[in-house]
Each structure stands twice: as structure tokens, then as C-alpha cells.
Amino acid sequence: MAAASEEEEVTKAQALDGFIEQLYEKRASERESGLASIARQLRLHYSLEEIQDKWETIADLSLKSIKRGGVVEARNAAQLLSLISLTLGRSQRVVTTMFAGLSSYFDEAKRSADLHEGGKEQGVTAGEVVRALGRFCFFSSEIPEDRIRCM
């Protein structure tokens, strides 16, 4: 029984590594698929221990997907970042890494909106980032008053 459990853990780790590799691809559809797959697995199977050593890589690649990708890729990346923040909870490294990246993108999107650049696609992406920032703020807040401010 223990051997089957170890085998399952190795398979999950290999699958996660494969999904992460997809995030390096040039084709947007491959990155979209990788982001969606990691999010799906995080919702269904992975726990903190399984992403502990890889979350920074995933977060960095997700932030890059938000900046360079289309609507679907950015939405998948923002949703994945939300799930990571939920899984990791309150951690200063998480706050430093993810909040700074999401805030930076949001500031860029806001400037573009102020200049009427980017169109509908930019607006949809900015909306996903705002939702991810809200979730991130909520999950990483320590006191109830901070959580209320996030909503």
C-alpha cells in the first residue's frame, strides 16, 4: 500500500513538472493549457507540500503570462495565483513576490485605461488581476479589519 502511495506522489510531481514546462512554451495555447492544468490539479490534488518548492517559479511564470498573454492566458494565470495564495496562506515571501507583481501589472493596466489604450482585452485582464489581488489580500490578511478592507 505504501509503494502505491509513493508511486502516486512521484506521478503527481512529474505531472506538475510537465505543466510547469508548458509555461515556458512560446505558443500561448500551451501556456494557457499549463496554467489551467496546474490550477485544476491544485484544486483537486495538490497540497502545500507538493507546491512548496515550486510556487515561486509558478508565480513568476504566471505574472509573466499576465503581462504578455491574451485574455485567456491572463485569466488562467490570475486564477492560478489566487489558488496559490489560498494554498500558501500568510507568508511574507508570498506577499513580497506575488503582491508586488500583481500590483505592478494593475498599475500598468490602470495607466493604459486612463490613456484609453488596450481596449476590451486590457479591461478583462485588469478585471482578473483585480479579483486575484482581492483574493490574495483576503487570504493573506491576519486581522478581520484588513479582510474587510479587501472586500
Spell out the per-residue pLDDT of the chain, length 151, in tens: 455 566 666 687 888 999 999 999 999 999 999 999 999 988 887 777 778 889 889 989 998 998 888 888 988 998 898 888 878 776 667 767 776 777 777 677 666 555 455 566 666 667 777 777 777 777 666 666 655 555 5
Sequence-ordered strand ranges (E) for 24-135: none
Nearest to 121 by CA among 68, 50, 59: 68
Contact 43, 79 (CB under 8 A): no
Residue 99's Cβ-count burial label (10 Å; 0-12, 13-18, 19+) is middle
pLDDT at position 131, please?
76
| Structure-derived torsion over alpha carbons of residues 119, 38, 51, 136, reported in degrees to the nearest 10 | 30
pLDDT at position 87, please?
81
Quote the distance between the C-alpha of residue 140 and its chain's center.
14
pLDDT at position 139, please?
67
Contact 16, 50 (CB under 8 A): yes
pLDDT at position 40, please?
92
